[in-house]
Amino acid sequence: MLLPFAWMLSTSLKTLSEALRIPPIWIPKVPHWENYALAWNAAPFGRYFFNSFFIAITTTVGEVIATVFAAYAFAKMNFLGKNVLFTLLLGTLMIPGQMLLVPNYVTIKRLGWYNTYWALIIPWVVSVFGIFLLRQFFRTIPDELWDAARIDGCSRFRFIWRIVVPLARPGIATVALFKFVGSWNAFLWVLIMTDKVELRTVPVGLRYFMSDMGTEYPLLMAAATMAIVPVLILFFFTQRQFIQGIARTGLK
Amino acid sequence: MMRIPAHWRSKQYWWDTGQAYLYLLPAMLVLGVFVFYPFFNAFNLSFHKVYLVKRVGGQLIPLYMEYVGLSNFTRLFHDSIFIKAIKQTSIYVGVSVPVTIGLALILATFLNEGLRLRPFYRLAYFMPYITPVVAISLVWQWIYNWKFGLLNYLLGFFGVDLINWLNDPRFALPAVIIMNVWRFVGYQSIILLAGMQGIDKMYYDAAKVDGASGIQAWWKITVPLLTPQLFFVFIISLIGSFKIFEEIYILFGTTPGPLNSAMTMVYYIFDQGFQRFHFGRAAAASVVLFAIIFTLTLFQMTVTQRRVHYER
Amino acid sequence: MLKRYGFAALVALLLLGVLAFSQVTIDFWHAMSKQHGPALEALVQKFMDENPGIIVNLVYQGGYGSLSQKLIGAVAAGEPPTVAQQYENWTTQWLDALVPLEDHLSPDVLADIHPRFLEMNRFNGKLLTVPFNKSIIVLYYRPDLVPEPPTTWEEFLDLACALTVDKDGDGVIDQYGTGLRPPNPEIFLTFLAQNEGSILSDDWSKVTINDERGLETMQFMASLAKCALVQGGYLSDPFGQGLIAMFVDTSAGYPYNLAAAQQGGFEMRVAKVPCHKNCASMVQGTNLGVFAMNQTPEQIDAAIKLIEFLLRPENTVYWAEQTGYLPVTMSGFNSEEWKAFTEANPERAVMTEQFLEGGFGQLHHPVYWDIRSVLITYYEQVLRGETDPKTALDNMAAEIEVLISE
């Protein structure tokens, strides 16, 4: 299961000639940690990582805000067209994202967002799964809570912010987590909507690194490792949220 | 006279409507611009030819669109590469979905037999799923290397000759399948395991009383009661596998495999749209993709709805 | 005295002001990397020194793939650079956006461009680009294995097969007479032109690739493939490893092939491509075009000046010497310097001769790039022995038929 990752790490610590040895060596005589420094300096990885973090964090924050309010509206409020809108939401799950690439490319160009952070953040600020998930969560919050708050003169907005959100923290954490990872791993969208080196995220930067480095396998593996580490660390500390989130979507 | 719904009379309702729309505004706006509008636009585009720039009158107009009716579609089905893309996508789906689910089921069964899911194991099963596809494909590209790759070395122990995974048209698609089965089996097995652990023990006790063997119990109790999770995993696996692109783009160095042997529908859309800039034709291909996925999902939902056993 | 200096200073300031005002900046996008980049930079710097009012912003956009994507994106946004390298099949995508150069270039410069190149840069009768870094297809061979390079198709085939041997008798061929690359149909097109065949009829109304002449050519390729190493990657590697005795390839690959030969420890020479009914050879490499879209008249003028500068005979020779591409002007070809250079470097003489005798360019059809894809698909099938030439050509023709039926 973990074999490929172990191999990746192993190769990243070898010299090129050690990597090209048959039969393969598993543990190099001397671990060449400097490969990581070499890889880091061979391409603007600092910039790539900054971009990935910046985009992932802003997208997640934006998403949490937009999703919390939308989910609350669907969960707790009665309004004109509620069912219609909800069905529309369901409908979007049927649409393959690839179908939207070309039209969105044209839209982004016309908006003047090509090669800007806007293109990489705004379209991803909404996750229909997130709305569904939070809606489930919110439904479990008893209506009496709102009634009591309302009597006390609390505005709905404040209610959502001060009471509902803390109660739904696990759900929100899950939503935020998935969004962060999804944003970090995003490739095709970034590839298409930008072509400036300064805007590359880690996955896209990795792809260009691959074509620049050709057959420098140890450096390539070092770069791959660096790309994976942040997500790994995040997962390690938030496993429960992840599993719960996935399990929740699995059980109707 | 039409009966007006009671709640329409309450002022609260209308006040709520206004507020709800306000709350929904950001989400709906984004969805509207980046999901609904492009969805319809894709259909529109598929009936047009898009010129990068055209001189109309005295003006230079970029992205000029010209109506061409169904010709994009007819052209698609005359393109041997598009047909190949459909065929190969189908093969990929037809093989990887059952294989992944099957393996995941077996894996989950073993895990259920007693291994406690410690954090380290969970990490192991999830890593392939949550890590960036680019990084994974990069590592596998190295593993698939003809002369120095790990896979060929390991296969050598079984007496298998060197296989040129990435340059031999016969092995390109299998290479993608193997990598993705590895990628998803852990994640799917966790879902199935969660489902298994939610099955009430009393069923098993009853079966034991009746003298049922382990395998019988598995087949008659576990699997049927697991159908919600199996169904879920099946659907997302099916739809997801129709959309593969990134893995191929990276594994084969931005070509769709030797002799187009790893050309899939999404790769075709990407290639037509973003490497050749035939926007109209790419849109037409994506409409075809949508039609296939839509039909399949509908079909699955109606047919399997009957076979899914929910506990309540 | 102060008054005089004061006056001079004022005039100087005014002049400076006027100059600053009349300073024009143009963007030049290119794909010339490590080896060719410095030569281009040197030329552009010289131009800027001669024209202090013009600033040329030389931007390296990556390889050809990257450059084409960036250009397409820029044109789609209505903001292309002033000057850019471009292949003919890219140019056909934005014909309307380019400046018709005949209206701007001086007649002397125009008359000096080699007529073959002029032909290749005309689109619908208008000259929209000028040749820049052009290469030609030639034959590379090892004199130790091939004492006399073949000059006809028959000789080439016979020699290739004679040189395809299993040296140690283990059932695996250790040396191939030649090598062929499916992603490089320009070789096939060269032979097709030598057989007087073509992809389309002259008026582009009919597909002619599967006629007799096309069939003969494809059959030749099929026979050749039996004695050839067929692979997707560049042939310099196997050549250097001693796996190939000779092969047909672009002159732009000369430095790489030479390096491979040196590593392999043998000599390499260049000869003309074996001929058939004529000695045609396909020209590759990019041209330069000036965009009218989103440019001020001053920028266009500056770009024209740059083009005229680059087309000066001595500059075309300098460029050719530094990079390995061909000079594109007649005076350049006929200059003493080039003659001396080709004497010292015989392979350049061969390349020059090959071009002058039979250089031809890409088909200017707007869907040529798609046609080329179809070509590659079926060409590969023939080379790998999966389909017979006639079936492949007929299938190819059917698809091309659909492509051109706009």
B62 HSE (CA, 13 A, CB side): 17
- Tens digits of per-residue pLDDT, C64-77? 877 888 888 888 87
Q: Please indicate, yes or no, if residue C276 is contained in any of the structural domains.
A: no
Is the domain of C151 the same as that of C242? yes
**ipTM (interface pTM):** 0.84
Q: How far is CA B52 from the centre of its chain?
A: 32
More confident of the two residues B205 and B137: B137
What distance in Å separates the CA atoms of residue B121 and residue A133, rounded to the nearest whole number? 26
> Residues C286, C287, C288, C293: is their CA dihedral positive or negative?
negative
Average the pLDDT over C225-233 and give the result.
Answer: 88
Whose tokens are 């091309």? That residue is: C400
What distance in Å separates the CA atoms of residue B75 and residue C209, rounded to the nearest whole number? 20
Instruction: Output the pLDDT for position B169.
Output: 79
Per-block mean pLDDT, blocks of 10 residues, chain A (252 long): 85 82 79 86 90 94 90 81 83 82 85 89 89 83 80 78 81 87 90 86 88 80 89 82 67 44
- Tens digits of per-residue pLDDT, C191-223? 999 999 999 998 999 999 999 999 999 999 999
Q: How far is CA C179 from the centre of its chain?
A: 21
Q: Please indicate, yes or no, if residue C10 is contained in any of the structural domains.
A: no
Q: Please indicate, yes or no, if residue C354 is contained in any of the structural domains.
A: no
pLDDT cut 90: percent of chain C above it: 66
Min Cα–Cα distance to chain A from C77, Å: 6
- The secondary structure of residue C288, as a DSSP letter, is E
Is the domain of C83 the same as that of C154? no
Subunits adjacent to chain B (3 or more Cβ pairs under 8 Å): A, C
Min Cα–Cα distance to chain A from C61, Å: 10
Is the domain of C372 the same as that of C223? yes
pLDDT at C406 > cutoff 90: no
Q: Please indicate, yes or no, if residue C70 is contained in any of the structural domains.
A: yes
- The residues of B whose Cβ lies within 8 A of any Cβ of C are 52-55, 60, 62-63, 75, 78-81, 167, 258-260, 274-278
- Tens digits of per-residue pLDDT, C165-201? 888 877 778 899 999 998 889 999 999 999 999 999 9
Is the domain of C28 the same as that of C171? no
C42 SS3 class:
helix
Q: Pairing relation of β-strands C122-123 and C126-127?
A: antiparallel
Instruction: Output the pLDDT for position B8.
Output: 67
The amino acid at B99 = V
C395 HSE (CA, 13 A, CB side): 17
- Tens digits of per-residue pLDDT, B111-137? 777 666 566 677 778 888 888 999 999
Instruction: Output the pLDDT for position B306.
Output: 58
Q: Please indicate, yes or no, if residue C16 is contained in any of the structural domains.
A: no
Measured from the Cβ of residue C5, the count of other Cβ atoms closer than 10 Å reads: 9
Type and span of the H or E element at C131:
strand C129-141
Interface contact A195-C73, CB threshold 8 A: yes
Is the domain of C185 the same as that of C124? no
CA B159 → CA A22, B150, B154, C132, distances in Å?
16, 15, 9, 54
Q: What angle do CA B49, B52, B56 make, to 5 degrees?
A: 85
Is the domain of C253 the same as that of C375? yes
Q: Please indicate, yes or no, if residue C11 is contained in any of the structural domains.
A: no
Q: Pairing relation of β-strands C281-290 and C83-86?
A: antiparallel
The amino acid at C222 = A
Domains of chain B by start residue, with CATH? 10-67 (no CATH), 79-305 (1.10.3720.10)
Domains of chain A by start residue, with CATH? 3-250 (1.10.3720.10)
Please give the mean pLDDT across all residues of chain C.
89
- Neighboring chain A residues of C66 at a CB cutoff of 8 Å: 195
Q: How many structural domains are present in chain C?
A: 2
Which spans in chain A are helix H? 3-12, 16-19, 34-42, 45-76, 82-92, 97-111, 117-121, 128-139, 143-151, 156-159, 165-167, 169-185, 188-193, 202-213, 217-237, 239-250
Per DSSP, what are the bridge partners of residue B64? B51
Type and span of the H or E element at C50:
helix C37-50
- Neighboring chain A residues of B246 at a CB cutoff of 8 Å: 187-188
Could you tell me the pLDDT band of residue B311, with boundaries at 50, 70 and 90? very low
What distance in Å separates the CA atoms of residue B260 and residue B19, rounded to the nearest whole number? 53
Average the pLDDT over B200-226 and give the result.
Answer: 77
Average the pLDDT over C31-45 and give the result.
Answer: 88
Is the domain of C230 the same as that of C301? no
3-state SS of C23-37 is CEEEEEEECCCCCCH
Q: Is A11 on the interface with B (CB under 8 A)?
A: yes
Q: Please indicate, yes or no, if residue C350 is contained in any of the structural domains.
A: no
Radius of gyration of chain C (CA): 24
The set of residues, in sequence order, having a beta carbon less than 8 Å from that of B270 and lying 6+ positions away, is A98, A101, A188, B245, B249, B282
Is the domain of C187 the same as that of C78? no
pLDDT at B279 > cutoff 80: yes
Q: Please indicate, yes or no, if residue C375 is contained in any of the structural domains.
A: yes
Instruction: Output the pLDDT for position C144.
Output: 92
Is the domain of C76 the same as that of C222? no
The predicted model scores a pTM of 0.81
Q: Pairing relation of β-strands C359-360 and C126-127?
A: unpaired
Lowest mean pLDDT among B1-15, B58-72, C29-43, C290-304: B1-15
- Tens digits of per-residue pLDDT, A117-146? 999 999 999 888 888 888 888 888 888 887
3-state SS of chain B is CCCCCHHHHCHHHHHHHHHHHHHHHHHHHHHHHHHHHHHHHHHHHHCEEEEEEEEECCEEEEEEEEECCCHHHHHHHHCHHHHHHHHHHHHHHHHHHHHHHHHHHHHHHHHHCCCCCCHHHHHHHHHHHHCCHHHHHHHHHHHCCCCCCHHHHHHHCCCCCCCCCCCCHHHHHHHHHHHHHHHHHHHHHHHHHHHHHCCCHHHHHHHHHCCCCHHHHHHHHHHHHCHHHHHHHHHHHHHHHHCCCHHHHHHCCCCCCHHHCCCCHHHHHHHHHHHCCCHHHHHHHHHHHHHHHHHHHHHHHHHHHCCCCCCC
Could you tell me the pLDDT band of residue B312, with boundaries at 50, 70 and 90? very low
Is the domain of C110 the same as that of C79? yes
- Neighboring chain C residues of A109 at a CB cutoff of 8 Å: 73, 76-77
- Neighboring chain B residues of C369 at a CB cutoff of 8 Å: 276
pLDDT at B10 > cutoff 80: no
Is the domain of C49 the same as that of C167? no
Q: Are A55 and A201 in contact (CB under 8 A)?
A: yes
pLDDT at C387 > cutoff 80: yes
Radius of gyration of chain B (CA): 25
More confident of the two residues A152 and C339: C339
The range of the structural domain enclosing residue C174 comes to: 143-267+367-404
Is the domain of C241 the same as that of C374? yes
- Neighboring chain C residues of A191 at a CB cutoff of 8 Å: none
Min Cα–Cα distance to chain A from B211, Å: 31
Interface contact C77-A114, CB threshold 8 A: yes
Q: Is B196 on the interface with A (CB under 8 A)?
A: no
Helix B80-112 to helix B227-242 angle (10° resolution) is 150
Residue C36's CATH number: 3.40.190.10
Q: Are C102 and C110 in contact (CB under 8 A)?
A: yes
